[in-house]
A and B are shown apart, each in its own frame.
Chain A
Amino acid sequence: MSIELLVSKQNHDGGWPYVNGRSWTEPTAYAVLALIAGGKSEPAARGIQWLRATQRPDGGWAPQTGVDDSTWVTSLVSILPPEHLGPGVHSRAIEWVLKTTGKESTLTYRIRERLLGNPRSPESQFPGWPWVPGAAAWVGPTSISILALCKENHRKGSPELRKRIEEGQGFLLTRMCLEGGWNHGSVRALGYESHPYPETTGMGLAALRGVASPKVDRALAVAKSFLAECHSADALNWLRLGLLAHRQLPPGYCPPAQIAYRTLPETSLDLLVSSMEKGNGPIWG
Chain B
Amino acid sequence: MQTKITRREWLAVSAGAAFLSGCGKEVPIVPAKVSIVRAPAYDQSIYDTMRRILADHKLDVRGRSVLLKPNLVEFEPESSINTNPLLVHAALEGFRALGASHVGIAEGPGHRRNTLDLADAAGYFKIVPDFENLFTDLNLDDVTRIRPTRQFSRLEKLYLPHTALAADLLVSMAKMKTHHWTGATLSMKNLFGTVPSGIYGWPKNVLHWAGIEECIADLHSAFPRQFAIVDGIVGMEGNGPIQGVPKRVGILVAGADPVAVDATCCRIMQIDPYKIGYLRLASGGMEAQITEENIRQTGEAIAAVATPFELPPDLPGLRIEKT
Contact = CB atoms under 8 A, between A and B. Distances in A.
A199 B114 contact: yes
Interface in B105-128: 111-114, 116-117, 120
A206 to B, nearest CB: 15
B205 A131 contact: yes
B274 interface: no
Interface stretch (B6-14, B44-52, B167-175, B196-204): B196-204
A233 B118 CA distance: 12
A12 B6 CA distance: 54
Interface string B300-321: 0000000000001110000000
Interface string A196-213: 010100000000000000
A216 B314 CA distance: 33
B200 A132 contact: yes
Contacts of A130: 201, 205
A217 to B, nearest CB: 25
Given A135-B209, A234-B114, A184 B203 contact: yes
Given A19-B140, A21-B142, A135-B206, A189 B114 contact: no
B149 interface: no
A24 B202 CA distance: 17
Contacts of B186: none
Nearest to B205: A135
B20 to A, nearest CB: 44
A118 B160 CA distance: 35
B117 A231 contact: yes
A138 B243 CA distance: 20
A120 interface: no
A234 B209 contact: no
Contact of B198 (A64, A135, A138): A64
A225 interface: no
Interface in B274-321: 312-314
Nearest to A26: B198
A50 to B, nearest CB: 16
Interface string A161-205: 000000000000000000000011000011110000101000000
B142 A131 contact: no
B142 A63 contact: no
B159 interface: yes
B77 to A, nearest CB: 12
Contacts of A68: 157
A141 B205 CA distance: 13
Contacts of A262: 114, 116-117, 132
B143 interface: yes
Main secondary structure of the interface of A (DSSP, over half): loop
Contacts of B141: 21
B198 A189 contact: no
B84 interface: no
B112 A197 contact: yes
Contact of B201 (A66, A140, A233): A140
B243 A134 contact: no
A72 B202 CA distance: 11
A64 B142 CA distance: 8
Contacts of B111: 183-184, 197
Contact of A190 (B113, B198, B313): B313
Contacts of B80: none
B116 A66 contact: no
Contacts of A183: 111
A229 to B, nearest CB: 11
A192 B239 contact: yes
Interface in A58-80: 63-64, 66-69, 71-72
A90 interface: no
B180 interface: yes
B27 to A, nearest CB: 40
A131 B313 contact: no
B114 A235 contact: yes
B143 A64 contact: yes
B156 to A, nearest CB: 9
A190 B180 contact: yes
A232 interface: yes
B157 A69 contact: yes
Point out which of A26, A63, A183, A235 has the most chain B C-beta atoms below 10 A from its C-beta: A63
A67 B143 CA distance: 8
Interface of B: 111-114, 116-117, 120, 132, 137, 140-145, 157, 159, 180, 198-203, 205-206, 208-209, 239, 242-243, 312-314
28 contacts: A18-B198, A19-B137, A26-B198, A63-B199, A66-B145, A67-B143, A72-B201, A103-B209, A130-B201, A131-B202, A131-B205, A132-B201, A132-B206, A135-B206, A138-B202, A138-B205, A183-B111, A184-B203, A189-B243, A190-B239, A192-B239, A197-B112, A199-B114, A232-B114, A233-B117, A235-B114, A260-B120, A262-B117
Q: 6 closest A-B pairs (Cβ-Cβ)?
A: A131-B201, A18-B140, A232-B117, A135-B205, A234-B114, A232-B114
Given A132-B199, A138-B203, A192-B243, 8 more contacts: A24-B140, A67-B159, A131-B202, A136-B209, A140-B201, A190-B314, A197-B111, A235-B117
